[in-house]
Amino acid sequence: MSEHLNILYAFGRFFSPFYSIAMSLRAALYRKGLRKQHRLSVPVISVGNLTMGGTGKTPMVMYLARLLADINPVIVSRGYGGKAKEKVNVVSDGRTVSLTASAAGDEPFYMAENLPGVPVLTSRNRVDGGRYAVEHLSAGAVILDDGFQHLGLYRDLNLALFKVDTFLGNNRVFPGGDMREPLKALERADCFVLTCVDEGNRSRAEAIKRALNKRFPLIPVFMHEFRPVSLIAADGSHVALQDGPTSFFGFCGLANPQSFKRSLQLAGINLDGFQVFRDHTRYFKPEINFLHKQSRNSSAQAYITSEKDLVKLKDGQLARPLYALRMEVVAEEDFDRFVLEKLRMGG
C-alpha cells in the first residue's frame, strides 16, 4: 500500500461509517424500487468487486466474451482515465479499433485490441451503453466491466471478484479502507470468484472460500487460476516462455504491481530489476528516460511488462527488446456451466 493511501485511510476511517450508510441507503432504494432499474432485452452480466484496485476483472470480462462468442456479446466499460467524452464511445465495433488507449482508457483499449469480433464501448452511464449495444450493435448479451456498484441497470448474472492475495484489503469501507461498500452488499452477487489462485496461495484461497460459504451459504464460490502462456514481443509475435531471453528488467503501471511481479516469478521469469510506475501510466519521453536510467546497471537482455502496458508502447521505443507476459484464465469446470445455465434461466 502506498504512503498516500496509508495517510488517506488513517484520516478517512472516521468518515467510513457515513459513507457506508450512504452506500447502503442507495442500494436499498434500488432494492425497494424507489430508484428505477432499467432492463435490457438481452442478458446482462456484471463483473465487479467490493474493493478498490485490481481483482482480475479485465481477464474475467475477456473470458466471458469468449465463452459467449456465439451470441454476439458487447462489452460496456466506464473507460476510466479515457479522454473520450461522448455519451457512448465506440472503442471497437468488433472489426476496427477506433480509439487510442488515451481516448478509450487502458482496459477498454486492451480488450478491443485482443478481442477481435467483440465490440467494446465506454460510457459513464451503463444504461446508455447497454442500450446502444442492443440498438446499434445487435448485442446478444452485454458484459459490464466493473459493474457491481452500477445498480441502474438490471443484471441477469452478478459476479463479485476477489483477488486471493488481497481479499477485502483492510476490511474498512472507503475513505478509511479498500472497500467500496459494506460487506452486506455481497448479498447482491450470484457467485463469488477468487482470482489469481496458484500453488503458493491455494491454502489461503481455500480458507477464503470457507469463510464466504459460511457467511453467504447460498452463493457459490469458484476459484480461477491465472496461468502464464507465452511471451508477446512488441511487434505482436508470440514466443514460447522457454525460447525467450534468459533475463529481464520488469516494469508495470498497474494497481497491484507486486502481484504482477509475483506472476513473473511464478512463470520462471528471471528478473534483474523491477520498476513500478503509477497505475494507468502513459509512457512518454520522461517515463522512457526514467526507465532507461533505472535499468542502466541491469544486465537484463530485455524488458518485460504487462499486456496492458505493452499496448501503450511502440516496437523499438526502448533501448532493449520488449516483451509482455501473456496470461490466461483457467476456470473451474463448473463455472462455465453455471454461467450458461444462469443466462438461460434469465437470471
Q: Domains (ranges, CATH) in the chain?
A: 3-226+330-344 (3.40.50.300), 228-328 (3.40.50)
CA atoms within 13 A on the CB side of 68: 29
pLDDT (0 to 100) of residue 275: 98
Q: What per-residue confidence (pLDDT) applies to 346? A: 56
DSSP assignment string, 189-236: -SEEEEEEE-TTTHHHHHHHHHHHHHHSTTS-EEEEEEEEEEEEETTS
Assess contact for 287 and 235: CB atoms under 8 A.
no
**Residue 238: other Cβ atoms inside 10 A:** 11
pLDDT at residue 158, rounded to an integer:
98
Percentage helix, strand, coil for the chain under 3-state DSSP, each rounded to 5: 35, 25, 40
- Predicted local distance difference test score (pLDDT) of residue 71: 96
Q: Cα–Cα distance between 40 and 118 in angstroms, integer?
A: 19
**pLDDT on residue 2:** 59
pLDDT per residue of the chain (347 residues) written in tens, 0 to 9: 556 667 778 888 889 999 999 999 999 999 999 999 999 999 999 999 999 878 899 999 999 999 999 999 999 999 988 999 999 999 999 999 999 999 999 999 999 999 999 999 999 999 999 999 999 999 999 999 999 999 999 999 999 999 998 898 888 899 998 899 999 999 999 999 999 998 889 999 999 999 999 999 999 999 999 899 999 999 999 999 999 999 999 999 998 899 899 999 999 999 999 999 999 899 999 999 999 999 999 999 999 999 999 999 988 899 999 999 999 999 998 999 999 999 986 55
pLDDT for position 124: 94
pLDDT at 248: 98
pTM to 2 decimal places: 0.90
Burial 315-340 (b: 16+ CB within 10 A, else e): eeebeebbbbbbbebebbeebeebbe
Given this model, what pLDDT does residue 170 score? Answer: 84
What confidence score (pLDDT) does residue 345 get? 63
